[in-house]
């Protein structure tokens, strides 16, 4: 199974750069880039923190296919 994310889409809606989101959730900008490119699977805590920033659910941001 592969993980698809909608982080980039949500960042655009909220007018956030990768660096901004990274700072909000306590990771490096590279981590956000790797998540967006499918090179990294987030921990449950990181997925929760990202969803919380966008005021949505983990399932709305991350999808296995």
- Report if pTM > 0.75: yes
- Domain at 3-64, CATH homologous superfamily: lambda repressor-like DNA-binding domains (1.10.260.40)
Q: With bands split at pLDDT 50, 70 and 90, how would you rate the model's confidence at 1?
A: confident
Q: With bands split at pLDDT 50, 70 and 90, how would you rate the model's confidence at 3?
A: confident
Q: What is the pLDDT of residues 4-35, one digit of tens each?
A: 999 999 999 999 999 999 999 999 999 999 99
Q: What is the pLDDT of residues 45-54, one digit of tens each?
A: 999 999 999 9
Q: Report DSSP letters for 39-59, one per residue.
A: S-PPPHHHHHHHHHHTTS-HH
The count of other CB atoms within 10 Å of the CB of residue 61 is: 21
Q: How far apart are CA 32 and CA 22, in angstroms?
A: 6
């Amino acid at each position: 199974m592969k993980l698809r994310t909608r982080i980039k889409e949500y960042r655009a809606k909220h007018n956030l750069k990768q660096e901004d989101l990274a700072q909000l959730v306590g990771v490096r900008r590279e981590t956000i880039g790797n998540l967006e490119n499918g090179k990294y699977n987030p921990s449950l805590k990181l997925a929760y923190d990202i969803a919380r920033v966008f005021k949505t659910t983990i399932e709305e941001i991350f999808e296995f296919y």
